[in-house]
A and B are shown apart, each in its own frame.
Chain A
Amino acid sequence: MARITLEGIAHTYDVRSANAALKRLDHVWEQGRAYALLGPSGCGKTTLLNIISGLITPSEGRVLFDGKDVTQLPTEQRNIAQVFQFPVIYDTMSVGENLAFPLKNRGMDRRAIKSRVAEIADLLGLTEELSRRARGLTAEAKQKVSLGRGLVRADVAAILLDEPLTVIDPSLKWELRSKLKAVHRALNLLMIYVTHDQVEALTFADEVVVMKDGSVLQVATPARLFEQPEHTFVGYFIGSPGMNLVAADVEGHVARVAGHAIELGAHYPKVPAGSAVLGFRPDYASVVPNGGVPVQIRRLEDLGRRRLARVALGPHEIFATVPHGVPIDGAEAGLTIRQDRLFVYVNDELVPGDRR
């Protein structure tokens, strides 16, 4: 068990270029919590994971495990376990031997190994496969074995997972997600999970670290990321469809968009023209037949369990929900937005208003 501290970490692959793979960050990973590193390709999440695991030595900064500086230590001395995108197992050994391998190499006695292997196999649902050759298993089972090899070591500091569900059949992903959560609850380990898929990150993690272009944009619980994104990219990236971001003139309690006034939920200082963006999720914006801000209906989308409308407010295209049972016909309608879910962003960052 360990808490991992990153102090002033930054990394550039190519010293000559101005682009840092990872911009300066400080973060503490608490023992026993599940984290997800979420972001599009190239955002630096895998680099960050590799710095923690020891595959990369950062250009700047220190990595501390429980206060001890491990920055220069190689992977095998850091006492972590890693699960890769594709299953890494020893073909010639059985499942049981695979799981026992790390313990055998560390000189544990046979009976202790046997009981530990049985314990972990039970946790992962592999008890029946223990004597089977690892080579003939399905992709899901192989990934479980990969994970199991990391879990058998009782003193392991952290488990790092690099997009582990990549090779799993989509209809079976939920099973492995469920197992990962069960493992976390049972063993109370620090787990760090890298992914570009919001469902994986939000399902798995207690806290999600959203990254883009080498910077950490927000670290928060899944609920908070959804309800109060602190950066326009977070609002856009999480949620399907993402947050509506509309340029507006903000002053006091009112935002003006395309000539229409929208009441805000808080008081804001005057923002220079062209800098402010109003953000609100389609989930909290409704299309109504009468009232609200007048908009033109561009397209109605029937998604089965909910209906979305693509509407135009002046030159801006906005997604909104059509509530159940509300008939919308014609090209004109009204838009209402929940006030407490209206956010103002300046230079992409959230500006907290004064909620008096």
Chain B
Amino acid sequence: MSVCLERVSMVSIGESIISDVSLTVERGVMNVLLGPTLAGKTTLMRLMAGLDKPTSGRVLVDGTDATGIPVRERSVAMVYQQFMNYPSLSVYENIASPLRVAKLKSDEIDRRVRTAARLLGLESLLDRMPHQLSGGQQQRTAIARAIVKGADLVLLDEPLANLDYKLREELREELPSILREAGAIVVYATAEPLEALLLGGVTATLSKGRVIQCGPASQLYRRPEHIESARVFSDPPLNEITATKRNDLLRLSENLIVQAVGILAKVPDGIYTLGFRGDMARLDAPWQDSVSLPGRVTLAEISGSESFVHVETALGTFVCVERGVSMRQPDQSAVLHVDAARVFVFDRTTGLPVVVKPDS
């Protein structure tokens, strides 16, 4: 079973929302659409579902052209960011609603509702009303309603974004196995790279209405095929430095010239954008091959297991990741050491990677 978007474009109110996207999603694997807000994730899902018609291109379901077919005639279920439940129906009735519309027999409805409720951990809450539930429980109800239908295509549009981070963690743990049980084609949109990595499966990075790269999540993370893909797949945001290489030397700015070491020693002369993620830089000690930039700490964002330290240098403010609770205080001076063995090198004009080294 597969849904395929073939060279699909969507123009609305004069603005191009989706440009020339070709994407196939299949059963048996988690399909993740990763991109910032307004990248086009929701629009793509709506096109797959049949809620909108593309301006050009085709939508194929199992090989047959389904482009004009409205969503009511397709087998689709959708879960939204804002937990959408019928406020006047109990949890049981909420989950049962698509089955009642399909006019199934009561005992069949009961069986299916209870199976879905068990899967989502809602068995004890079947009599409650949505407003009596916590955010996480409401979203579980919405997900149960989506899977009970047995639809062929289940779309989840940033379903965890409105939950407290702890509830988000919990639900994210359970989702892959729950959705696997549902046996449908699952498409999951998110703006967080961490979620894409946690869910695994096939990820497509989106930016400004285009699919930049598509493949297994770890692979996309380690081998970006374009700087835009690296940008989308980085949290904290990708740190970038423009560098000109000539004769073993790297000019980083008007006054800053360093030795080209690590990967940088192996690229030909030219102008590049160096991209490095937060974990490719550190403050304590240099790497075996380092590019070192003196600077000043402006903020340490602490999340417990790791900290994002913002460092202001002559080339701009960069974010590096430290393990544990960082003791850095604002206005402390520090030296940022960038691991020259792991940094990404992109061509300045095309954005394509020049030399990509596999992660160790």
Residues of A near any B CB (own CB < 8 A): 40-41, 171, 174, 177-178, 181-182, 185, 196-199, 202-203, 222-223, 225-227, 236-242, 281-283, 301-305, 324-325
Which of the segments B27-35, B47-55, B297-305, B345-353 contacts the partner chain? B297-305
Q: Verify A223–B327 contact, CB threshold 8 A.
A: yes
Q: Verify B305–A178 contact, CB threshold 8 A.
A: no
Residues of B near any A CB (own CB < 8 A): 36, 134-135, 164-166, 169, 193-194, 197-198, 200, 217-218, 221, 237, 277-279, 298-305, 308, 310, 321, 323-325, 327, 330-331, 360
Q: Verify B310–A178 contact, CB threshold 8 A.
A: yes
Q: Verify B298–A240 contact, CB threshold 8 A.
A: no
Q: Verify B197–A302 contact, CB threshold 8 A.
A: yes
Q: Verify A40–B164 contact, CB threshold 8 A.
A: yes
CB distance from B337 to the nearest CB of A (A): 16
Mostly, the A contact residues are helix
Q: Verify B304–A198 contact, CB threshold 8 A.
A: yes
CA A237 – CA B221 in complex, angstroms?
Answer: 28
CB distance from B322 to the nearest CB of A (A): 11
Contact (A226, B299) CB under 8 Å given A181-B330, A303-B197 = no
From B194, B217, B277, B302, contact of A203 by CB (8 A)? B302
Q: 17 new A-B pairs (CB below 8 Å) besides A185-B330, A302-B200? A: A40-B166, A41-B135, A174-B299, A174-B308, A178-B299, A181-B330, A182-B330, A198-B304, A222-B302, A226-B304, A226-B324, A239-B303, A239-B305, A282-B305, A302-B217, A304-B277, A305-B279
Contact (A174, B321) CB under 8 Å given A203-B301, A304-B197 = no
Q: Which chain A residues border B36 with CB–CB below 8 Å?
A: 171
Q: Which chain A residues border B303 with CB–CB below 8 Å?
A: 198-199, 202, 239-240
Q: Verify B305–A283 contact, CB threshold 8 A.
A: yes
CA A238 – CA B302 in complex, angstroms?
Answer: 11
Q: Which chain B residues border A199 with CB–CB below 8 Å?
A: 301-303
Q: Which chain B residues border A237 with CB–CB below 8 Å?
A: 166
Q: Which chain A residues border B135 with CB–CB below 8 Å?
A: 41
Q: Verify B305–A240 contact, CB threshold 8 A.
A: yes
From A177, A225, A239, A241, contact of B301 by CB (8 A)? A177
CB distance from A38 to the nearest CB of B (A): 11
7 interchain pairs (CB within 8 A)? A41-B164, A174-B301, A174-B308, A182-B330, A199-B303, A203-B300, A226-B324
Q: Verify A177–B302 contact, CB threshold 8 A.
A: no
Q: Verify B299–A202 contact, CB threshold 8 A.
A: no
From A185, A198, A241, A301, contact of B197 by CB (8 A)? A301
Most chain A CB neighbours (cut-off 10 Å) among B166, B194, B197, B300? B166
Q: Which chain A residues border B304 with CB–CB below 8 Å?
A: 198, 202, 222, 225-226, 238-240
CA A182 – CA B331 in complex, angstroms?
Answer: 9
Q: Verify A240–B165 contact, CB threshold 8 A.
A: yes
CA A171 – CA B308 in complex, angstroms?
Answer: 13
CA A305 – CA B221 in complex, angstroms?
Answer: 10
CA A324 – CA B279 in complex, angstroms?
Answer: 13
Q: Verify A305–B321 contact, CB threshold 8 A.
A: yes
CA A202 – CA B165 in complex, angstroms?
Answer: 14
Q: Which chain B residues border A282 with CB–CB below 8 Å?
A: 305
CA A196 – CA B218 in complex, angstroms?
Answer: 31
**Nearest 3 A-B pairs (CB), nearest first?**
A305-B279, A202-B302, A239-B304
Q: Verify B164–A196 contact, CB threshold 8 A.
A: yes
Q: Which chain B residues border A301 with CB–CB below 8 Å?
A: 197-198, 200
Most chain A CB neighbours (cut-off 10 Å) among B237, B300, B302, B323? B302
CB distance from A240 to the nearest CB of B (A): 6
Q: Verify B310–A240 contact, CB threshold 8 A.
A: no
Least CB separation from B196: chain A residue: A304
Q: Verify B325–A178 contact, CB threshold 8 A.
A: no
Q: Which chain A residues border B330 with CB–CB below 8 Å?
A: 178, 181-182, 185
Most chain A CB neighbours (cut-off 10 Å) among B303, B323, B324? B303
Least CB separation from A181: chain B residue: B330
Q: Verify A197–B197 contact, CB threshold 8 A.
A: no
Q: Verify B323–A283 contact, CB threshold 8 A.
A: yes
CA A352 – CA B218 in complex, angstroms?
Answer: 42
Q: Which chain A residues border B198 with CB–CB below 8 Å?
A: 301, 303
CA A181 – CA B331 in complex, angstroms?
Answer: 11
Q: Verify B164–A304 contact, CB threshold 8 A.
A: no
CA A140 – CA B198 in complex, angstroms?
Answer: 31
Q: Verify A178–B298 contact, CB threshold 8 A.
A: yes
CA A182 – CA B312 in complex, angstroms?
Answer: 15
Least CB separation from B222: chain A residue: A304
CA A325 – CA B302 in complex, angstroms?
Answer: 26
CB distance from A243 to the nearest CB of B (A): 10
CA A305 – CA B164 in complex, angstroms?
Answer: 23
Q: Which chain A residues border B321 with CB–CB below 8 Å?
A: 305
Q: Which chain B residues border A171 with CB–CB below 8 Å?
A: 36, 237
From B164, B165, B221, B310, contact of A174 by CB (8 A)? B310
